[in-house]
Amino acid sequence: MLRAVVFDVGETLIRDDRGWAAWADWLNVPRHTLSALVGAVVAQGRDNADALRLIRPDIDIAAERAAMEAAGAGERLDEANLYPDVRPALAALRAAGLRTVIAGNQTAHVGQLLRELDLPVDEIATSGEWGVAKPDPRFFTRVLDLANSPPDKTVYVGDHPANDIRPAQAAGLRVAHLRRGPWGHLWSGTAEAAAADWQIDSLHDLVRLATR
């Protein structure tokens, strides 16, 4: 029996399209252009932030993000960002007695925004708060500390094989690959995705697997 479920953030719990749209508007390029570049770098196995560097090679992403925040154009999260299955699935897992945790590669600001959504979870943490990001093994050490559960009783749920499946498995966790968003769809059916303990199309699938 599982004791804890830990969730990635982007394209697992929240849609990333609004965030990328904000970047496109800020950099004064068509939204479709940036969206296509994000898809291209992801398909090449690169960091999705490289899409911004293709538009502006000398960009200082942290400084530019701070400028966006100062101008009121920075990161925002509200109910519209959540996938529709998020609240009911989190609530069902928690009601079944599983510890529910959110831990992903996001800024400290996004961590605060997630807390303000008052999701039915026990803990929320981000790489920006921890100072270490996936796929670094230290990130998953922190995940296990937060989950307060043995690795083989803990499942990490995410869409990205390189950031989610492989490093979580290397840390001894069980993993669920979510076929959602560009990364989840791109790697669906590949050997990388097949390495997961479970492949799911919805968080409702996870509820059925984790509570049976």
Q: What pLDDT is stored for residue 210 in this prediction?
A: 85
Torsion 175-146-19-82 (CA) sign: positive
The number of C-alpha atoms within 13 Å of 154 and in the hemisphere containing its C-beta is: 26
| Residues 144/137, Cβ–Cβ less than 8 Å | no
Nearest to 184 by CA among 13, 4, 6: 13
Instruction: Give the domain 4-15+78-211 fold.
Output: Rossmann fold (3.40.50)
Q: What pLDDT is stored for residue 130 in this prediction?
A: 97
Torsion 125-127-131-137 (CA) sign: positive
Q: What pLDDT is stored for residue 189 in this prediction?
A: 82
Q: Where are the beta strands (DSSP E) in the chain?
A: 4-7, 99-104, 123-126, 154-158, 174-178, 198-200
Q: What pLDDT is stored for residue 190 in this prediction?
A: 83
Question: Which residues in the chain come in under a pLDDT of 50?
Answer: none
Q: What pLDDT is stored for residue 58 in this prediction?
A: 95
How long is the chain? 212
Spell out the domain ranges in the chain: 4-15+78-211, 17-70
Beta strands at 154-158 and 174-178: parallel, antiparallel or unpaired = parallel
Amino acid type, 108 = A
Q: In whole angstroms, what is the distance from residue 38 CA to residue 49 CA?
A: 8
Record the tokens describing residue 114, joined without a space: 């997630």
Amino acid type, 179 = R
Instruction: Summarize pLDDT for 29-47 with one digit per residue, the tens.
Output: 999 999 999 989 988 878 8
Q: In whole angstroms, what is the distance from residue 51 CA to residue 132 CA?
A: 22
Q: What pLDDT is stored for residue 131 in this prediction?
A: 96
Instruction: Summarize pLDDT for 71-97 with one digit per residue, the tens.
Output: 988 888 999 999 999 999 999 999 999
Q: In whole angstroms, what is the distance from residue 42 CA to residue 17 CA?
A: 15
Q: What pLDDT is stored for residue 161 in this prediction?
A: 87
Q: What pLDDT is stored for residue 33 in this prediction?
A: 96
